[in-house]
Amino acid sequence: MSGPVPHDRVALLVNGSSRRGADAYGRTLRGLRSAGLGVVRSVLLRDPAELPAEVAAAVAGRCRLLVVGGGDGTVGAVAGLLADLPAEVRPVLGVVPLGTANDFARTLDLRPGVVPGISALATGKVVDVDLGRANGTPFLNVASLGLSVGATHALHPQLKRRLGPVAYPVATLRAYRRHEPFDVRLEFPEGDREPLELSDLLQVAVGNGRHYGGGNTVAPDAGIDDASLDVYAVRAGRLREHLSLARLLRNGTLVHHEHVQHVVTPAVVLVTDRPQPVNLDGEIAAASPVEFRVQRNAVEVVVPHHITHLSHEGAAAGERTAPVRGADPVDAPPTP
């Protein structure tokens, strides 16, 4: 079951610093109006610090659909702001994918660019999706510690503009050369598993969505509406071992590798042997120790009409405790 897309009282918010944002702003605004969407407010955002005020202005203006043009960082930040609002005043989120990775859009089966985004808004439907929280800070796709943080530091804007999605493996290789292994303790506050002690790690990732890193898959059956977090830890090792792991990133079968620990849980606390910065959807926005939780059915979002793997359950369903994939401890692989 899904809902109709509201076409009246539409707000448009485009991140002018995203890879294609400034050039796409005018085309997006004209395209929305040509498709029959009643745009009553539009903003080309130059400073990300203005996001909360602009979302608040759209809500105060009784906008029913908030269209965001930008990458995963911008969309995730807006989703977090919307998730904090009462359901009766919360606009539906629309996405025009204008970033480098566009992993949230990929999870929604939404192709990047202005034309596919507007097409989905004009002919699509509304579903609800989960939101991850890291010490309360929202993320849509994946949070991670370790190698990905170093890659984020190496992934400067000039590299992204010059190489596009290829910038991600280039930045990762640069970070790999400087990486220092770390230890972590995984605690499960819901009591669904016993704590795990893991040492000599390359990376720990916590997935709320399905895709990350420019098209990699969290796990073969990961979803953004299953009330679960996919947690996996990769042990440090030799370069050739990690190159073999890299081939498994696209389809998510990495989680079945013998050098990878994978669990599925509604909540997890990561305690590291030394403080570690945490990457949330490509932004360094938290630090360990860190508690991760799922906010069930937190945001309503527009998806293409052909989507069948997502539905609209509503706020009442989100308040119930949903069954969790792999909740039975016997499904967990042995501790490395």
For residues 217 and 252, the answer to whether their CB atoms sit within 8 Å is yes
Q: Tell which residue, 152, 150, 178, 180, has the closest CA to residue 73.
A: 152
* pLDDT tens per residue across span 23-43: 899 999 999 999 999 999 999
- Per the DSSP assignment, residues forming a β-bridge with 43 are 13
> Is residue 165 over pLDDT 80?
no
Predicted pLDDT of residue 332: 39
- Reduce the secondary structure of 154-221 to three states and give it as a string: HCCHHHHHHHHHHHHHHHHHHHHCCCCCEEEEEECCCCCCCCEEEEEEEEEEEECCCEECCCEECCCC
* pLDDT tens per residue across span 126-154: 999 999 999 999 999 999 998 777 666 65
Q: Tell which residue, 85, 34, 44, has the closest CA to residue 63.
A: 85
Distance from C-alpha of 40 to C-alpha of 52, rounded to nearest angstrom? 18
Strand runs (DSSP E) across the chain, as ranges?
A: 10-15, 39-45, 65-70, 92-97, 125-134, 137-139, 142-146, 182-187, 196-207, 211-212, 216-217, 229-235, 260-265, 267-272, 277-280, 283-287, 290-303
> Is residue 175 over pLDDT 70?
no
Distance from C-alpha of 82 to C-alpha of 75, rounded to nearest angstrom? 11
Q: Which fold has domain 10-129+298-319?
A: Rossmann fold (3.40.50)
- Per the DSSP assignment, residues forming a β-bridge with 160 are none
Query: What is the chain's mean pLDDT, rounded?
Result: 86
* pLDDT tens per residue across span 203-224: 999 999 999 888 889 999 999 9
Distance from C-alpha of 250 to C-alpha of 253, rounded to nearest angstrom? 8
Q: Mean per-residue pLDDT for 229-233?
A: 96
Class of domain 137-294+327-331: mainly beta
Domain boundaries, the chain: 10-129+298-319, 137-294+327-331
> Is residue 295 over pLDDT 50?
yes
Output 322 or 71, whichever has higher pLDDT.
Answer: 71
Split at pLDDT 50, 70, 90, the class of 318 is very low
Predicted pLDDT of residue 196: 97
> Is residue 315 over pLDDT 60?
no
